[in-house]
Chains A and B, each alone.
Chain A
Amino acid sequence: AQSVAQPEDQVNVAEGNPLTVKCTYSVSGNPYLFWYVQYPNRGLQFLLKYITGDNLVKGSYGFEAEFNKSQTSFHLKKPSALVSDSALYFCAVRGASGGSYIPTFGRGTSLIVHP
């Protein structure tokens, strides 16, 4: 069975500082990995995905994520946080081949960026 762990319920960072939101995963075979963001009163919005290739994936709003196969991690990063980045962030995984095509989500991490 595939699963995602987001070990931090909340991440606090000052505006202008780098941010990292952690995600580890478990899946059979190679993974497809995703990050989504949810702003208040909105649905989850796609940020970026890792399918294959370069381990550093760039996405929307200046976010990037690094795939680390040995550590089964896919941490979300941004070099300089903005107050408007404050939101709920979800990591998701599915297997690249065979089995279910349904992504499994984590519980989300609340990112709070302080002015």
Chain B
Amino acid sequence: EPEVTQTPSHQVTQMGQEVILRCVPISNHLYFYWYRQILGQKVEFLVSFYNNEISEKSEIFDDQFSVERPDGSNFTLKIRSTKLEDSAMYFCASTRGVNNEKLFFGSGTQLSVL
């Protein structure tokens, strides 16, 4: 089965630094998502992306966050100035459509902000 690929698997950064998390969605998928999970808490929706623009975002996705699909294959999440509370596992996901379709998830990037 095709897979969503995320890099790096682990990222350690200092508070205030910028980080970019990278994802390669499944090639014929059209909708892309970022979720995160802080240790012991729910998997939280951050943002969805379709047709080169954000289609939905949560309250978590503030001005410090941005997403981009720079080259038709990669889908990136940038955090401009990381905070301690940004430490979490970040999951990328993709789907072909939106109507009751299952999400295909990557294996995640564990972000640790020191």
Contact = CB atoms under 8 A, between A and B. Distances in A.
B43 A105 contact: yes
Nearest to B43: A105
Contact of B56 (A42, A43, A102): A102
Interface string A18-37: 00000000000000101010
A105 B56 CA distance: 16
Contacts of B40: 107
B45 A102 contact: yes
A34 B35 contact: no
A107 B42 CA distance: 4
Contacts of B3: 43
Interface stretch (A45-53, A62-70, A79-87): A45-53
B54 interface: no
Contact of B107 (A4, A43, A90, A106): A43
B111 to A, nearest CB: 15
A100 B59 CA distance: 14
Interface residues of B, number: 27
B48 A102 contact: yes
B45 A44 contact: no
Interface string A73-107: 00000000000000000100000100011111111
A107 B43 contact: yes
B51 interface: no
Nearest to B58: A102
A71 interface: no
A43 B4 contact: yes
Interface of B: 3-4, 6, 9, 33, 35, 37, 40-45, 48, 56, 91, 93, 98-100, 102-108
5 contacts: A41-B107, A43-B3, A101-B98, A105-B42, A107-B42
Given A41-B9, A44-B43, A49-B100, 9 more contacts: A41-B107, A43-B3, A44-B93, A51-B100, A96-B100, A100-B56, A101-B99, A102-B45, A105-B44
